[in-house]
Amino acid sequence: MEATGYASCEWWWLLSDWRLLAIGGVCAGIELLFFIFGKMYCYRKNRQPEEVEQEGLPVIVVTVEQSPVYQVGEHTFFDAERMELIKEEQVVKLTPQTAVLLEKFLQAEGHTLSTSLISETLWPNGSGSQERIHTLIRRLRKSLGELTALQIKFKNDSYHLIIPHFIGKNALTNA
């Protein structure tokens, strides 16, 4: 009985009802919008960087955010994302905490950090002690001493990163 009722149904009545046509049109419009926006998203995601000429120099516009690379000496760089000090062929890998501390020093005004700021930054749960800070500074000094002339001095409850000037370049640049 069910098969007979289905086979004898007249399909043209679906097209004569304006409400069904309106619902079908709205659904088709929504599908079209999703298709168009999906194509636009894929296009923007996969497009190549554009080259723009500015004052005769080619400039490559990159939309991906890059981690900072700091020049900390002549031919010496600190890659914050990779947590590495690099000088020509030599690479010194830093621990995550020493890398964060070095980056904070390089970003700080006057390259000076108080012990309380170091403690708050590296141990937000309050577990930072003077011993832990001193141990971390000692590790950073050791890593810096392998490739650079950078020094860390302690004065008035603060640590100061001393960056000696090198000929022909600024003491610190963000490349």
- Determine which helix (DSSP H) or strand (DSSP E) holds 60, and give its type and residue range: strand 57-61
Rounded-to-integer distance, Cα 68 and Cα 51, Å: 22
Q: What is the mean pLDDT of residues 132-148?
A: 91
Provide the token pair at 111. 């390259």
pLDDT of residue 171: 42
List Cβ neighbours of 141 (8 Å cut-off, separation of 6 or more).
Answer: 151, 152
Q: Which among 2, 174, 171, 175 has a CA at the least distance from the CA of 74?
A: 171
- Laid out side by side, the sheet with 151-155 consists of 112-114, 158-162, 151-155
For the whole prediction, is pTM greater than 0.75? Answer: no
Select the more confidently predicted residue: 170 or 74.
Answer: 74
Q: Which is higher by pLDDT, 175 or 86?
A: 86
How does pLDDT run across 11-67, given as a tens digit for each residue? 555 566 667 667 777 878 888 887 787 777 666 655 554 554 545 445 545 444 556
Tell me if residue 70 falls in helix, strand or coil.
Answer: strand
93/85 Cα distance (integer angstroms) = 7
> In one letter, which amino acid is 22?
A
Longest CA–CA separation in the chain, Å: 96
- Across all residues in the chain, what is the average pLDDT? 76
Query: 105-116, pLDDT tens digit by residue?
Result: 988 888 899 999
Higher pLDDT, 164 or 96: 96
Residue 159 has pLDDT above 50, yes or no: yes
Query: Count of CB atoms within 10 A of residue 127's CB?
Result: 9
